[in-house]
């Protein structure tokens, strides 16, 4: 089959690789100039089935509402935009009901474990050498934090996830760089969780996909999809240094640079046997003309990444693996010779617009746990949208429109769920039985 994949984040590239592995001719269309240019660029990098509960859960509902009411919280920056997404929030609220959440959590856990298995196999078979570490340490500042974590520990025990509840001394043995001045009561050691450089992984996998014949069309915007036995897409090449298209409504900043004759970039129509949409927030606009309404919202996350500061005689100034501050739901990870702190939840934000209070919170938490570990003058700030459906679950499989397939809506778990989702998608498209039940990820649940 000739298959088009729209989107070259971690989900799109893993989908393209799995489809090519099955023998399909695959072309990937990406509006950016390379892979992993948006949501896959600089997120926390956690691969954590032990934290596999969906963003929609009863505890998260209470926490997020509290954050909205706290002036200095990460989520408070988006409070002014809540009413614009009231319908989405209403559906999210109802998805937080315990019974619904429990069913979703069970589905996500199966997908997360399957995805980790696929990631390990892919990494081994393709010999992908990317920055990664094993183990996650959840830090609990007080006995109240421990009490709040106990229901989650019960769920971990029920699902067979290996963990240890340890005291502060053991935490500092595992992570000797932790500040001794910041109060620490206990920790949860998740032995089999991982952290990794998602962007590096995607770039390495792109090379392997190209060796299998996958073509990547960068700086290419897909403008429309026509469903059918042979679905058709319309796309246009828009390199960043190109003059504006005649229909773009844009003009050069310097009037003297206006060309004497309008320059246009003609759109191209191509037919395929199947179209797989992994286009994140660009998806609803592509699906709406097909009669498909996808309630996808961007939950924006932040990160700060800086080179580690090296001190003679004290090499452990930063984390050895992944740290999670349970109270603030903020992670601190080691990425090669860099340190990254990531977190926050901003609903309805905009790219490139950073909330000062959110950044201050990240800087403060980094100082709490690893003071003087980062070379802050060289810090890289990042903000990316995590496309999320109201129930916190991805949609994987047939869209309901002939020839159009979906693999998107993974929220903050895209990296942790990508490899398993890609295999489910490829098996579904081929009409094969999937390794795990994919019914919970079907488009039908959203209608």
**1 has pLDDT over 60:** yes
Q: In the structure, what pLDDT confidence band is assigned to residue 346 with cuts at 50, 70 and 90?
A: confident
Mean pLDDT of 64-69: 50
Q: Does domain 1-45+197-291+390-447 correspond to CATH entry 3.50.50.60?
A: yes
Domain spans in the chain, listed from the N-terminal domain onward? 1-45+197-291+390-447, 56-96+126-195+297-388
**pLDDT score recorded for residue 239:** 84
Cα–Cα distance between 192 and 72 in angstroms, integer? 34
Domain 56-96+126-195+297-388, CATH among 3.30.9.10, 3.30.230.70, 3.40.50.10860, 3.40.50.2300: 3.30.9.10
User: What's the whole-number average pLDDT of the chain?
Assistant: 86
pLDDT given for residue 241 in this prediction? 63
The arithmetic mean of pLDDT across residues 274-303, rounded, is 93
**Model pLDDT, residue 90:** 81
Do 3 and 274 form a contact (C-beta atoms < 8 A)? yes
| Alpha carbon separation from 80 to 56, 85, 331, 350, 447 (Å, rounded) | 21, 10, 26, 13, 28
Kindly tell me the sign of the dihedral angle through the C-alpha atoms of 251, 257, 262, 264: negative
For residue 85, the model assigns a pLDDT of 67
- For the segment 131-144, the average pLDDT, to the nearest whole number, is 95
The answer to whether 1-45+197-291+390-447 and 56-96+126-195+297-388 have equal CATH topology is: no
Write the pLDDT tens digit of every residue in 424-445.
999 999 999 999 999 999 999 8
The dihedral built from the CA positions of residue 350, 356, 360 and 366, taken in this order, carries a sign that is positive
Report the range of poorest mean pLDDT among 108-117, 245-254, 335-344, 348-357.
245-254
pLDDT, tens only, 7-22: 999 999 999 999 999 9
In this predicted structure, the answer to whether residue 129 has a pLDDT above a threshold of 60 is yes
pLDDT at residue 52, as a whole number: 57
Instruction: Look at residue 56 in the predicted model and tell me its pLDDT.
Output: 56
Mean pLDDT of 110-129: 96
- Helix (H) or strand (E) run with residue 124 in it: helix 98-126
pLDDT for 315: 60
Read off the pLDDT of each residue in 52-81 and give the average, rounded to a whole number. Answer: 51
Query: Residue 124 corresponds to which tokens in the numbers above?
Result: 């081994």
Tokens of 439: 């019914």
Phi-psi region of 75 (alpha: psi -120 to 50; beta: other; left: phi over 0): alpha
Total length of the chain: 447
Q: What integer pLDDT is reported at residue 246 of this predicted model?
A: 38
């Amino acid at each position: 089959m000739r298959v088009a994949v729209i989107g070259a984040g971690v989900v799109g590239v893993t989908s393209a690789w799995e489809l090519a592995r099955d023998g399909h001719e695959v072309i990937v269309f990406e509006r950016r100039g390379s892979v992993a240019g948006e949501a896959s660029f600089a997120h926390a990098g956690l691969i954590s089935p032990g934290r596999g509960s969906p963003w929609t859960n009863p505890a998260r509902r209470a926490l997020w509402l509290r954050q909205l009411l706290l002036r200095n919280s990460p989520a408070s920056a988006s409070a002014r935009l809540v009413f614009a997404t009231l319908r989405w929030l209403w559906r999210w609220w109802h998805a937080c009901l315990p019974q619904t959440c429990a069913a979703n959590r069970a589905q996500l856990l199966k997908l997360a474990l399957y995805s980790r298995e696929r990631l390990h196999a892919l990494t081994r078979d393709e010999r992908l050498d990317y920055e990664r570490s094993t183990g996650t340490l959840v830090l609990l500042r007080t006995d109240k934090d421990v009490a709040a974590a106990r229901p989650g520990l019960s769920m971990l025990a029920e699902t067979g996830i290996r963990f240890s509840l340890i005291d502060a001394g053991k935490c500092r043995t595992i992570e000797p760089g932790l500040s001794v001045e910041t109060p620490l009561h206990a920790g949860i050691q998740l032995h089999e969780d991982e952290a990794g450089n998602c962007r590096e992984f995607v770039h390495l996998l792109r090379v392997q996909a190209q060796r299998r014949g996958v073509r990547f069309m960068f700086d290419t915007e897909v403008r429309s999809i026509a469903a059918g036995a042979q679905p058709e897409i319309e796309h246009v090449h828009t390199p960043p240094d190109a003059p504006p298209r005649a229909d773009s409504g844009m003009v050069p900043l310097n009037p003297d640079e206006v060309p004497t004759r309008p320059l246009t970039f003609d759109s191209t129509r191509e037919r395929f046997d199947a179209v797989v949409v992994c286009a994140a927030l660009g998806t609803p606009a592509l699906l709406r003309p097909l009669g498909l309404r996808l309630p996808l919202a961007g939950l924006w996350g932040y990160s700060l990444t800086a080179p580690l500061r090296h001190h003679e005689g004290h090499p452990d100034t930063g984390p050895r693996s992944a740290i999670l501050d349970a109270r603030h739901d903020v992670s601190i990870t080691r990425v090669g010779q860099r340190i990254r702190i990531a977190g926050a939840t901003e609903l309805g934000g905009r790219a490139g617009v950073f909330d000062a209070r959110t950044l201050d919170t990240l800087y403060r938490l980094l100082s709490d746990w690893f003071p003087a570990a980062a070379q802050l003058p060289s810090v890289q700030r990042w903000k990316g949208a995590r496309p999320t459906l109201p129930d916190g679950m991805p949609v994987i499989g047939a869209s309901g429109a002939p020839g159009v397939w979906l693999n998107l809506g993974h929220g903050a778990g895209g990296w942790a769920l990508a490899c398993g989702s890609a295999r489910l998608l490829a098996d579904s498209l081929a009409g094969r039985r999937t390794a795990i039940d994919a019914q919970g990820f079907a488009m039908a649940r959203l209608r």
